[in-house]
Structure 1
Amino acid sequence: MSHTDSTKLKRSHEPVFWGLFGAGGMLTAFLTPVMILITGILVPLAIISPEALSYERVHGFATSWYGAAILLVLIALPLWHTLHRIFHGLHDIGVKRGRDWQQVICYGAAFAVSVFVFTLLLQML
Protein backbone atom coordinates (compact mmCIF):
# COMPACT_ATOMS: atom_id res chain seq x y z
CA MET A 1 0.00 0.00 0.00
CA SER A 2 1.18 3.48 -0.76
CA HIS A 3 0.95 6.62 1.36
CA THR A 4 -1.80 7.99 -0.87
CA ASP A 5 -4.30 5.34 0.16
CA SER A 6 -7.38 6.38 2.07
CA THR A 7 -6.15 4.36 5.04
CA LYS A 8 -4.04 7.19 6.45
CA LEU A 9 -4.14 7.57 10.19
CA LYS A 10 -6.18 10.49 11.43
CA ARG A 11 -4.27 12.94 13.60
CA SER A 12 -5.63 13.48 17.07
CA HIS A 13 -5.20 16.22 19.65
CA GLU A 14 -5.98 13.80 22.49
CA PRO A 15 -2.32 12.97 23.37
CA VAL A 16 -1.75 16.63 24.32
CA PHE A 17 -4.74 16.64 26.66
CA TRP A 18 -3.87 13.22 28.12
CA GLY A 19 -0.34 14.51 28.78
CA LEU A 20 -1.66 17.57 30.62
CA PHE A 21 -4.12 15.31 32.47
CA GLY A 22 -1.36 12.94 33.58
CA ALA A 23 1.01 15.71 34.63
CA GLY A 24 -1.71 17.48 36.61
CA GLY A 25 -2.79 14.26 38.31
CA MET A 26 0.76 13.34 39.27
CA LEU A 27 1.43 16.83 40.61
CA THR A 28 -1.77 16.80 42.64
CA ALA A 29 -1.15 13.31 44.00
CA PHE A 30 2.35 14.16 45.20
CA LEU A 31 1.91 17.72 46.44
CA THR A 32 -1.51 17.70 48.12
CA PRO A 33 -0.41 15.45 51.01
CA VAL A 34 2.72 17.56 51.48
CA MET A 35 0.72 20.79 51.60
CA ILE A 36 -1.71 19.25 54.10
CA LEU A 37 1.22 18.08 56.24
CA ILE A 38 2.92 21.49 56.19
CA THR A 39 -0.08 23.81 56.58
CA GLY A 40 -2.34 21.52 58.60
CA ILE A 41 0.08 19.81 60.96
CA LEU A 42 3.66 21.12 61.04
CA VAL A 43 2.91 24.86 61.18
CA PRO A 44 0.05 24.60 63.75
CA LEU A 45 2.24 22.40 65.97
CA ALA A 46 5.08 24.96 65.59
CA ILE A 47 7.41 22.32 64.14
CA ILE A 48 7.81 24.75 61.26
CA SER A 49 7.83 28.40 62.22
CA PRO A 50 4.71 30.32 61.11
CA GLU A 51 7.07 33.07 59.95
CA ALA A 52 8.30 30.67 57.26
CA LEU A 53 4.91 31.11 55.57
CA SER A 54 4.51 34.82 56.34
CA TYR A 55 2.95 37.10 53.75
CA GLU A 56 6.24 38.84 53.03
CA ARG A 57 8.10 35.57 52.34
CA VAL A 58 5.31 34.07 50.22
CA HIS A 59 4.90 37.34 48.30
CA GLY A 60 8.65 37.53 47.72
CA PHE A 61 8.61 34.01 46.32
CA ALA A 62 5.55 34.62 44.15
CA THR A 63 6.99 37.80 42.65
CA SER A 64 10.23 36.17 41.53
CA TRP A 65 10.41 34.71 38.02
CA TYR A 66 10.99 31.17 39.29
CA GLY A 67 8.24 31.47 41.90
CA ALA A 68 5.77 32.72 39.29
CA ALA A 69 6.70 29.82 36.99
CA ILE A 70 6.22 27.31 39.81
CA LEU A 71 2.86 28.84 40.75
CA LEU A 72 1.71 28.71 37.13
CA VAL A 73 2.54 25.01 36.95
CA LEU A 74 0.93 24.34 40.35
CA ILE A 75 -2.29 26.03 39.27
CA ALA A 76 -2.57 25.20 35.56
CA LEU A 77 -1.71 21.49 35.50
CA PRO A 78 -4.20 20.39 38.19
CA LEU A 79 -6.80 22.55 36.43
CA TRP A 80 -6.17 20.76 33.10
CA HIS A 81 -6.36 17.44 34.96
CA THR A 82 -9.69 18.34 36.53
CA LEU A 83 -11.34 19.61 33.37
CA HIS A 84 -10.12 16.63 31.34
CA ARG A 85 -11.63 14.34 33.97
CA ILE A 86 -14.90 16.31 33.84
CA PHE A 87 -14.96 16.05 30.04
CA HIS A 88 -14.61 12.27 30.12
CA GLY A 89 -16.93 12.03 33.12
CA LEU A 90 -19.72 13.62 31.08
CA HIS A 91 -19.52 10.67 28.71
CA ASP A 92 -19.57 8.26 31.64
CA ILE A 93 -22.81 9.71 33.01
CA GLY A 94 -24.50 9.46 29.62
CA VAL A 95 -23.98 12.86 28.02
CA LYS A 96 -23.02 11.56 24.60
CA ARG A 97 -24.37 14.02 22.05
CA GLY A 98 -22.30 16.92 20.78
CA ARG A 99 -18.91 16.13 22.30
CA ASP A 100 -17.44 19.09 20.40
CA TRP A 101 -19.16 21.68 22.60
CA GLN A 102 -18.05 19.74 25.67
CA GLN A 103 -14.44 19.85 24.50
CA VAL A 104 -14.66 23.56 23.78
CA ILE A 105 -16.12 24.31 27.21
CA CYS A 106 -13.78 22.05 29.22
CA TYR A 107 -10.51 22.66 27.41
CA GLY A 108 -11.42 26.27 26.65
CA ALA A 109 -11.99 26.94 30.34
CA ALA A 110 -8.68 25.31 31.28
CA PHE A 111 -6.88 27.34 28.64
CA ALA A 112 -8.62 30.60 29.58
CA VAL A 113 -7.89 30.25 33.30
CA SER A 114 -4.27 29.25 32.56
CA VAL A 115 -3.82 32.37 30.42
CA PHE A 116 -5.51 34.48 33.11
CA VAL A 117 -3.18 33.13 35.83
CA PHE A 118 -0.17 33.62 33.54
CA THR A 119 -1.23 37.26 32.97
CA LEU A 120 -1.72 37.90 36.69
CA LEU A 121 1.66 36.38 37.52
CA LEU A 122 3.35 38.50 34.84
CA GLN A 123 1.78 41.63 36.33
CA MET A 124 3.15 40.68 39.76
CA LEU A 125 6.74 40.49 38.51
Structure 2
Amino acid sequence: MTTKRSPEPLLWLLFSSGGMVAAMLVPVLLFLFGVAFPLGWLTAPGHDYLASVVSHPVTLLVLFGLCVLALFHWAHRFRYTLYDGLQLKRYRVPIGILCYGGAIAGSVVVALVLLRAI
Protein backbone atom coordinates (compact mmCIF):
# COMPACT_ATOMS: atom_id res chain seq x y z
CA MET A 1 0.00 0.00 0.00
CA THR A 2 1.43 3.35 -1.01
CA THR A 3 0.44 6.57 0.59
CA LYS A 4 0.41 9.83 -1.29
CA ARG A 5 2.69 12.27 0.47
CA SER A 6 1.66 15.87 0.68
CA PRO A 7 4.10 18.81 0.65
CA GLU A 8 1.87 20.64 3.16
CA PRO A 9 4.05 19.99 6.26
CA LEU A 10 7.10 21.45 4.51
CA LEU A 11 5.09 24.45 3.30
CA TRP A 12 3.73 25.09 6.80
CA LEU A 13 7.30 24.82 8.16
CA LEU A 14 8.50 27.45 5.68
CA PHE A 15 5.48 29.62 6.51
CA SER A 16 6.06 29.53 10.25
CA SER A 17 9.83 29.95 9.91
CA GLY A 18 9.40 32.93 7.61
CA GLY A 19 6.94 34.56 9.98
CA MET A 20 9.19 34.05 12.98
CA VAL A 21 12.35 35.28 11.26
CA ALA A 22 10.56 38.29 9.78
CA ALA A 23 9.00 39.14 13.14
CA MET A 24 12.37 38.99 14.90
CA LEU A 25 14.71 40.67 12.41
CA VAL A 26 12.72 43.05 10.20
CA PRO A 27 11.52 45.42 12.98
CA VAL A 28 15.07 45.77 14.30
CA LEU A 29 16.48 46.47 10.85
CA LEU A 30 13.69 48.94 10.07
CA PHE A 31 14.20 50.74 13.36
CA LEU A 32 17.97 50.99 12.93
CA PHE A 33 18.15 51.92 9.25
CA GLY A 34 14.82 53.73 8.99
CA VAL A 35 14.68 55.69 12.25
CA ALA A 36 17.71 55.56 14.56
CA PHE A 37 20.49 56.19 12.04
CA PRO A 38 18.69 58.86 9.95
CA LEU A 39 17.58 60.81 13.04
CA GLY A 40 21.04 60.64 14.58
CA TRP A 41 19.97 58.67 17.66
CA LEU A 42 22.78 56.24 16.92
CA THR A 43 25.98 56.80 14.99
CA ALA A 44 25.47 55.45 11.51
CA PRO A 45 28.09 52.97 10.33
CA GLY A 46 30.19 54.06 7.39
CA HIS A 47 29.80 52.71 3.89
CA ASP A 48 33.09 50.81 4.03
CA TYR A 49 32.12 49.12 7.29
CA LEU A 50 28.67 48.12 6.00
CA ALA A 51 30.20 46.84 2.76
CA SER A 52 32.64 44.67 4.70
CA VAL A 53 29.89 43.34 6.98
CA VAL A 54 27.55 42.55 4.08
CA SER A 55 30.31 40.78 2.16
CA HIS A 56 30.96 38.39 5.07
CA PRO A 57 29.62 34.88 4.33
CA VAL A 58 27.67 34.59 7.60
CA THR A 59 25.90 37.89 6.96
CA LEU A 60 25.09 36.80 3.42
CA LEU A 61 23.65 33.55 4.75
CA VAL A 62 21.49 35.40 7.31
CA LEU A 63 20.22 37.87 4.69
CA PHE A 64 19.52 35.04 2.26
CA GLY A 65 17.63 33.10 4.93
CA LEU A 66 15.64 36.17 5.95
CA CYS A 67 14.62 36.99 2.38
CA VAL A 68 13.85 33.42 1.29
CA LEU A 69 11.83 32.56 4.39
CA ALA A 70 9.93 35.84 4.15
CA LEU A 71 9.12 35.09 0.49
CA PHE A 72 7.80 31.63 1.35
CA HIS A 73 5.82 33.11 4.24
CA TRP A 74 4.24 35.54 1.77
CA ALA A 75 3.55 32.75 -0.75
CA HIS A 76 1.76 30.58 1.79
CA ARG A 77 -0.26 33.46 3.23
CA PHE A 78 -1.22 34.75 -0.23
CA ARG A 79 -2.17 31.25 -1.37
CA TYR A 80 -4.58 30.79 1.50
CA THR A 81 -5.90 34.32 1.06
CA LEU A 82 -6.83 33.43 -2.51
CA TYR A 83 -8.27 30.06 -1.45
CA ASP A 84 -10.30 31.15 1.55
CA GLY A 85 -10.70 34.90 1.15
CA LEU A 86 -11.59 34.99 -2.52
CA GLN A 87 -13.02 31.45 -2.62
CA LEU A 88 -10.74 30.35 -5.48
CA LYS A 89 -10.11 26.78 -4.31
CA ARG A 90 -11.04 25.44 -7.75
CA TYR A 91 -7.80 27.01 -9.06
CA ARG A 92 -5.69 25.17 -6.49
CA VAL A 93 -2.87 24.08 -8.84
CA PRO A 94 -2.32 27.36 -10.75
CA ILE A 95 -2.45 29.37 -7.52
CA GLY A 96 0.10 27.06 -5.89
CA ILE A 97 2.38 27.30 -8.91
CA LEU A 98 2.03 31.09 -9.03
CA CYS A 99 2.64 31.63 -5.32
CA TYR A 100 5.45 29.15 -4.69
CA GLY A 101 6.95 29.70 -8.13
CA GLY A 102 7.11 33.40 -7.32
CA ALA A 103 8.83 32.62 -4.03
CA ILE A 104 11.35 30.38 -5.79
CA ALA A 105 11.99 33.01 -8.48
CA GLY A 106 12.42 35.66 -5.80
CA SER A 107 14.84 33.37 -3.97
CA VAL A 108 16.94 33.04 -7.12
CA VAL A 109 16.98 36.82 -7.52
CA VAL A 110 18.02 37.23 -3.87
CA ALA A 111 20.83 34.72 -4.37
CA LEU A 112 22.07 36.55 -7.46
CA VAL A 113 21.96 39.94 -5.74
CA LEU A 114 23.78 38.65 -2.67
CA LEU A 115 26.40 36.86 -4.76
CA ARG A 116 27.19 40.16 -6.46
CA ALA A 117 27.92 41.62 -3.01
CA ILE A 118 30.90 39.30 -2.54
Q: TM-score, normalised by structure 1?
A: 0.81
> Aligned pair 1:112/2:112, yes or no?
no
Q: CA deviation at 1:79?
A: 1.1
Show structure 1 runs of 5+ residues with no match: none
**Residue of structure 2 aligned with 1:10, choices 4, 21, 31:** 4
Q: CA deviation at 1:33?
A: 2.5
Amino acid at match of 2:82: L
Alignment of structure 1 residues 35-54 onto 2, 5 Å: 35-50=29-44, 52=45, 54=46
Tell me: CA distance 1:63–1:45, structure 2 relative to 1, closer, same or farther (3 Å).
Answer: same
Tell me: CA distance 1:73–1:91, structure 2 relative to 1, closer, same or farther (3 Å).
Answer: same
What is the percentage of aligned positions where both structures have the same residue?
Answer: 34
**Separation in 1, partners of 2:91, 2:61:** 36
What corresponds to 1:55 in structure 2? Answer: 47
**Separation in 1, partners of 2:30, 2:108:** 27
Alignment of structure 1 residues 13-24 onto 2, 5 Å: 13-24=7-18
RMSD after superposition: 1.8
**Residue of structure 1 aligned with 2:23, choices 10, 16, 29:** 29
Amino acid at match of 1:68: L
**Separation in 1, partners of 2:116, 2:18:** 24
Q: TM-score, normalised by structure 2?
A: 0.86
Amino acid at match of 1:78: A
1:24 alignment partner, SS class = helix
**Separation in 2, partners of 1:95, 1:121:** 36
**Separation in 2, partners of 1:36, 1:64:** 21
Show structure 2 runs of 5+ residues with no match: none
Alignment of structure 1 residues 60-99 onto 2, 5 Å: 60-92=52-84, 93-99=86-92
**Separation in 2, partners of 1:110, 1:58:** 27
Bigger Rg, structure 1 or 2: 1
Tell me: CA distance 1:88–1:120, structure 2 relative to 1, closer, same or farther (3 Å).
Answer: same
Q: CA deviation at 1:41?
A: 3.7
